[in-house]
Structure 1
Amino acid sequence: MAKIVVTESVTLDGVMQGLGRMDEDTRGGFRHGGWGTPYMDSAMMEVMGRGMASTGAMLFGRRTYEDFFKVWHGRTDGNPFTEKLDNTRKYVASRTLAQPPSWQNSILLTGDVVQAVEALKKEQDHDIAVLGSGELVRSLLSAGLVDRFVLSIHPLVLGSGRRLFPDDGLLAKFRLVDSVPTGTGVVIASYEVKRE
């Protein structure tokens, strides 16, 4: 049975919105896009590369899937992630996509997302990675489907933006299983979800 492994970059105040680019996610008037870019270093790339190497499939919400497709699909700049992203099975949870996803190896999940992900966990033998996709992550966590978080905790406070864990979320407990500090002050912490 597969595990759902959520990989997120967050600030000290829990913001996950608009990590990579100024225009990545401006919902709610968010003006701090691209906050994570200055913190990228070789230690972070190594940890992320190991995580992607152990991934059997990926699971995205619609917004994150469309952004990843726009940024990563078919790149020829020699980065280490395009080939993995292109060739890995990608599942997309969406209530609004009418067309099948156009990125190769992509499957649109239909019906109830919680039931669909429960079935995926039973079918798969390797980890299923969730990247970004905050709304989807919150749904999966409340349904008890997330097994591990890999959080890249950045040493800054933005004061506004969409957070990974909202104020109205449920109580959840975690156990630290690994941590790696980077040269830029990011701490990559892996937490297993504690089951009561």
Structure 2
Amino acid sequence: MRKIIVGAFISLDGVMQAPGGPEEDPIGGFKFGGWVAPLFDEKMGAAIGEMFANPFDLLLGRKTYDIFAAHWPYADKNDPIGPLFDRINKYVATRNPGFKTTWQNSHVLGADTVAAVKALKGGDGPDLLTQGSTDFLKTLFEHDLVDEINVFTFPVILGKGKRLFGDASFPRALTLVASSTSENGIVISKYARAGVVTTGSFEFETPTEAELERRRNLT
């Protein structure tokens, strides 16, 4: 079975919109496109290289696919990411039934995206790595399809913008597999599945009258 691995650049307040440049995704009047570039450093680059080191296919929402397809096939061939992305399979989630891919080794997931992803996940092949794809991630989280999350948290607060997690996130416990901090303060964290969310309590075994009154006031 293949794992679905999320790779996400996020701000401290969880925004992941338009990390790469001002014109990448200005939807909603987002004003801070390109917020990753000033903070990107050597250790961050090494972490990206590590994430791309094992075989993988890309699993992308259409908007991110469009961004990648307009950039990576035309990138400097000395940048190893361009040839890598050209070579591997790219699976695209789109609501547009007439969508046609223009990038080699690209495949549209079809009308039933969830079924298509489950089929891919249950088949043979390398792991499936997402990049960006905020809307598509909501679907993956909602259907509990994500196995691992690589989060790169940048020391910046962006306010409004598209976020990694939303109300559709499926409750799930995670294990912190690895964590480090780069020279520019980027927190690099890898999380893996750890079963269901467990709860406990710091409350008194016998609640006080004040606590009982507080609970009554909640309703």
TM-score surpassing 0.5? yes
CA distance in 2, matches of 1:109, 1:57: 13
Task: After TM superposition, list the pairs within 5 Å mapping 1:33-182 onto structure 2.
Answer: 33-76=33-76, 78-96=78-96, 98-167=98-167, 169-182=169-182
The answer to whether the 8 A contact 2:77-2:83 is kept is: no
User: Structure 1 residue 109: deviation in Å?
Assistant: 0.8
Answer 1 or 2: which has greater strand percent: 1
Q: How many pairs are equivalent?
A: 196
User: 2:50 is aligned with what amino acid?
Assistant: R
Other-structure match for 2:206: none
Gaps in structure 2 of 5+ consecutive residues: 197-219
Contact 1:18/1:24 (<8 A) preserved: yes
Matched position secondary structure for 1:73: helix
Mean Cα deviation higher: 121-130 or 168-177: 168-177
- Offset at 1:168? 5.9
CA contact (8 A) 2:144 2:170 kept: no
Do 1:4 and 1:148's aligned partners in 2 also have CA atoms closer than 8 Å? yes
| 8 Å Cα contact 1:56-1:128 kept in structure 2 | yes
Asked if structure 1 preserves the Cα contact closer than 8 Å seen for 2:174 and 2:192, the reply is yes
1:121-153, CA deviations, whole angstroms, 9 ceiling, x for partnerless residues? 111332110001011111111101000100000
Looking at structure 2, the residues matched to 164 and 99 of structure 1 have their Cα atoms a distance apart, in angstroms, of 25
Instruction: Select between 25-34 and 2-11 the one with higher mean Cα deviation.
Output: 25-34
- CA gap of 1:97–1:52, structure 2 versus 1, over 3 A, is farther
- Per-residue CA deviation, residues 11-43 of structure 1 (Å, 9 max, x unaligned), is 010000010101111111111111111111121
1:66-121 Cα offsets, whole Å, 9 max, x none, are 00111211322511210111111100011115143110111111121111011001
Distance in 2, matches of 1:54 and 1:10, equals 23
CA drift at 1:60:
0.4
C-alpha distance in 1 between matches for 2:31 and 2:193: 32
RMSD (CA atoms) = 1.5
Query: Aligned pair in 2 of structure 1 residues 26, 167: CA closer, same or farther (>3 Å)?
Result: same
Secondary structure at 1:68 match in 2: helix
CA shift at 1:57, angstroms? 0.7
AA partner of residue 46 (structure 2): E
Larger radius of gyration: 2
Instruction: Kindly provide the amino acid, as one letter, of the partner of residue 62 in structure 1.
Output: R
Structure 1 length as normaliser, TM-score? 0.94
Question: Which amino acid counterpart does residue 80 of structure 2 have in structure 1?
Answer: P
Task: Quote the Cα distance in structure 2 between the aligned partners of 1:148 and 1:101.
Answer: 27
Which SS does the other structure have where 1:177 is aligned? strand
Bigger shift: residues 3-12 or 96-105: 96-105
Mapped partners of 2:168, 2:122: distance in 1: 30
Residues 127 and 169 of structure 1: is their aligned pair in 2 closer, same or farther, counting only changes over 3 Å? closer
